Amino acid sequence: MATSTDDTSTTTPDAVPHYADDSFLTPQRIKVLGIAGAAVLVVALGIWFAITAGKRKEAFAAQALESARITAEQGNLPEAVSQFEKVVTTYSGTSAAYSASLGVAQARLVSGQTELAIASLLDFLKTNPPALYASPANGLLGSGYENTGKYAEAAAAYRKAADEATSDYLKASALLDAGRAFRLSKNKDEAMKCYREILDKYAETAAKTEAEVRLAEMTIGQG
């Protein structure tokens, strides 16, 4: 007697892929995907609003800075200082605020408030501003020190301005200032280094001629 065999084959659970049908899009998973999509949208909108707000802040800051500059050009330096300071406090972190900090110092230097200008520049430089603003700040600081007869301090500030300057023209100009201040402080060697650096590195700038003249003046009678 032939024995019949059961043709019913058994299939292990692993034999059927779990994604064989659309059952993986369960209501629960759809809900999760919806929440994730909403989260991405919220983040994207947050970034967009932040960028838009940042642009608006920069625009308002630029307008306030221009108004302060116009006031300074009209000769009302006390009011200009007040307006510059308002830009610094109201729009902190913007490029206009950095420029306004320089405006405060420059207006004070022009109006003869040298010590106040020096103090404000030292405070500004303690914030580690970008080189684009640090260089002119050190240049103004050098002017302040030079105006008060502190020639060694002036030379050091001008030297920093040259190191941080963002173009060959600005570097060469700051080196001329540094050379002059070093000469006034009786530091002839450092002065000559400044002039030689101009001739070696920035001979294509307008500072070359003056550097040559100053260097010649300092080497007359030598050798």
How confident is the model at residue 106, as a pLDDT? 95
Predicted model pTM = 0.74
Does residue 44 lie in a domain region? yes
How confident is the model at residue 211, as a pLDDT? 96
Does residue 157 lie in a domain region? no
How confident is the model at residue 31, as a pLDDT? 53
Q: Which of 111, 112, 110, 144 is nearest to 125 (CA)?
A: 144
Using an 8 Å Cβ cutoff, are 91 and 97 in contact? yes
Whole-angstrom distance, CA of residue 110 vs CA of residue 117: 9
How confident is the model at residue 219, as a pLDDT? 87
Whole-angstrom distance, CA of residue 139 vs CA of residue 178: 9
Distances (CA, A) of 192 to 164, 168, 216: 20, 19, 10
Q: How many domains does the chain have?
A: 1
Residue 88 CB neighbour total at 10 angstroms: 22
Does residue 41 lie in a domain region? yes
Does residue 171 lie in a domain region? no
* 3-class secondary-structure state, position 160: helix
The pLDDT averaged over each successive group of 10 residues in the chain (223 residues) is 46 42 49 54 46 72 92 94 95 93 95 96 96 96 97 98 96 97 97 97 95 92 54
Using an 8 Å Cβ cutoff, are 154 and 142 in contact? yes
Does residue 100 lie in a domain region? yes
CATH code of the domain covering residue 60:
1.25.40
Does residue 2 lie in a domain region? no
Looking up tokens 């001329």 gives 176
Does residue 76 lie in a domain region? yes
Single-letter residue type at 197: E
Does residue 149 lie in a domain region? no
How confident is the model at residue 25, as a pLDDT? 45
How confident is the model at residue 21, as a pLDDT? 46
Residue 102 CB neighbour total at 10 angstroms: 19
Write the CB contacts of 88 (distance below 8 Å, at least 6 apart in sequence): 97, 100, 101, 104
Residue 96 CB neighbour total at 10 angstroms: 25
Using an 8 Å Cβ cutoff, are 142 and 117 in contact? no
- Max CA separation in the chain (angstroms): 133
